[in-house]
Amino acid sequence: MTQTDLGRPRPEFVHNGIAFGCDYNPEQWSPEVWAEDVRLMREAGVDLVAINIFGWSNVQPSPDRYNFDDLDAVITLLHDNGIRVNLGTGTSSAPPWLSTQHPEILPMVSDGTTRYPGGRQAWCPSSPVFRDYALRLVEKVAERYGNHPAVALWHVSNELGCHNGRCYCPTTAAAFRSWLEKKYGSIDSLNRAWGTSFWSQRYSTWSEIDTPKLTLSSGNPGQALDFQRFSSDELLSYYRSERDVIRRHSSVPVTTNFMVAAHIDNLDYWSWAPEMDVIANDHYLDHRLPDPAAELNFAADLTRGLANGEPWLLMEQATGAVNWQPHNIAKVPGEMVRNVMTHVARGADAVCSFQWRASLQGSEKFHSALVPHAGTDSAHWRSVVELGALLDRLDEVQGSRVVADVAVIFSWESTWASDGANMPSQSVKSLDQAHAAYNAARDAGLSVQMVSPDSDLSGYGLILVPGLYLVTDAQAARLADAVAAGAHAVVTYFSGIVDHDDRVRPGGYPGAFTELLGVRSEEFFPLMPGDQMQLEWVGTASTGIANSPATLWSENLHPTTAEVMATYVDGQLPGVPAVTLNSFGNGHAWYVATELGADTLRDLITRIASEAGVKRPSDALRFGSDGVEISRRVSAEHSYLFVINHSKEDVTVASIGYELVTETSVDNTLRVPAGAVRVVREDSRA
């Protein structure tokens, strides 16, 4: 048990086995349906349900009237049936009476127009009026249910910042100014940090500073970056205010559902994570991406990174299609189980879905649910019941931790800075680089721990640093220390370029990492989309590495102390190094100065991992979204080998122990049919 910032022990989320749950919105249904719901929940083995997520207008129908009758009845019903409650504070969406009486709570977008109620989350995170009303509701809910035996977890608001991550209104501007005053102390120091000598942007008083609204040309990047930092802090402070109210009435753990996903990057969850009693994440397959399953892996590992390696809760996923993508793709048989098991294999101790019963009305009526529109006489319902039974068989893995000795450094702050306007190439996105490096490690069959640049890096044999554009001196020193102590690092292009203030580090690129990498480059040579460069790998570097063409980026790179491992054959820089290797202290630092093909990067990482002595959970398979996913969770007593077969062929894996999915023992060889999932409690002989 760790200490909270209040000096009290942090409440732990305790559950008997892997929790199986869902969002439950009984306010959309009649009490007769509730009784049927609970009967079916028991049939499926559902044991944790999130309620009151969007309950505000029901429990407080008018400013001075609260009505908890329905919530009381639902909580009692769930409790009587042994189903635990993940209790929403209900503040996610304000009722119409509040925005009618106080239109000043409505959020403003960057063009200065207000967004109206009628959807959800239409509130300004800095609004004292919204906060006041919301906290009064939280107080009532916490007072009433704080000690209720059914309540296992508090669910603050819902996906904070999903729609209202940035507000540009005058109230926010005032809060932004206070945040800036606290950060900089003097206007001169702000002017220096933002580089306001440029384009006549110098401020003489705080009151001249506004939120970074739409401008004719591009705006000030320092202002934009600080606004992103501020906006993340502002919502975190909102979270804290709800949590602190709950704390006065309840010792039950408190959390909120993160959105670690490719399409949402509003919040710096590294700063949020320490404030949660348990980390919870919502994840939906995103079919707008080229490889949705790879992004699922990334998100699950990043969530475990936020949990500091501890187990975490999958708070929402979809049992089938969502309804908010341009084309909402249903899951084929077996796919939901594979998705869910990817999360469990990567540390999730709860599997919850949005939502229990498919709505008949409202914006989400075509979103999948545990109980579909078709009812229980459906393949979908049967697959839900099977999932519940499967999770029951896996209960014993709860509490175990994933073993990983490859670190991938990821920073939301750096992503915000590097993905701004007026960069050398709009095709270079640090999130894409993070995914590429992560995928290479995954496809090499390695187990990855995602870490923040402020993390302790000791203990990792291999550290990947994809596109870490913004890096502080202290962060760069941590990496250098880890390499000097013996780690192998792979830094990819457009890293180390700017400091905390987004100020370019002069003297040659890659700025903060020139000494570590033993290289210096004088000019970037980004490529046009579609252009390619052939590479020539030097000497032994060519062995076992797929030589696909490089794209997107090159630079006029000179080695100072590094060895050249690959050069460009053509393009604008023939003969110039594309990949280098530097010995640094007891370790080795690779620089990848271009966008390698996915197979090339995978092979390179495979080779470096083996040189670094990093072990894979299992050898000799084809890994990845059309291959096999393997990871291991370890407890004090046991280790569990997870094998998820995404391929169309059966595979075999060396293993000895007891297989929990099929409840059979495994003697030397585990056979995993195409599309299936297996979990072996490994015999210590293995």
Residues that bind ligand GAL (CB under 6 A): 158-159, 162, 282, 284, 316, 322, 354, 364, 367
- Comparing CA positions, the residue from 556, 508, 483, 511 lying closest to residue 414 is 511
Both tokens assigned to 657? 């122990």
Both tokens assigned to 215? 């401008």
- Widest pairwise Cα distance in the chain: 78
CB of 296 or CB of 441, closer to ligand GAL: 296
CB of 282 or CB of 349, closer to ligand GAL: 282
CB of 494 to ligand GAL, least distance (A): 31
Name 605's Cβ contacts closer than 8 Å, sequence gap at least 6: 437, 440, 441, 444, 446, 462, 464, 490
CA distance 41 to 27: 17
316 is catalytic: yes
CB of 22 to ligand GAL, least distance (A): 11
CB of 625 to ligand GAL, least distance (A): 22
CA distance 246 to 148: 13
Neighbouring CB atoms inside 10 A of 426's CB total 11
Beta-sheet pairing, 151-155 with 254-255: parallel
CB of 74 or CB of 604, closer to ligand GAL: 74
CB of 367 to ligand GAL, least distance (A): 5
Write the DSSP assignment of 284-344 as a string of letters.
---TTSS-HHHHHHHHHHHHHHHTTTS-EEEEE--SS--SSSSS-PPPPTTHHHHHHHHHH
CB of 340 or CB of 677, closer to ligand GAL: 340
CB of 104 or CB of 364, closer to ligand GAL: 364
Beta bridge mates, 582: 589
CB of 316 or CB of 603, closer to ligand GAL: 316
Both tokens assigned to 610? 């083996």
CB of 159 or CB of 629, closer to ligand GAL: 159
Asked if residues 320 and 333 have their Cβ atoms less than 8 Å apart, the reply is: no
Catalytic residue among 234, 295, 316, 555: 316
Q: Where are the alpha helices (DSSP H) in 394-494?
A: 412-418, 430-443, 473-484
CB of 272 to ligand GAL, least distance (A): 16
Asked if residues 369 and 46 have their Cβ atoms less than 8 Å apart, the reply is: no
CA distance 225 to 244: 29
CB of 381 to ligand GAL, least distance (A): 19
242 is catalytic: no
CB of 368 to ligand GAL, least distance (A): 9
Q: Which residues are catalytic?
A: 159, 316
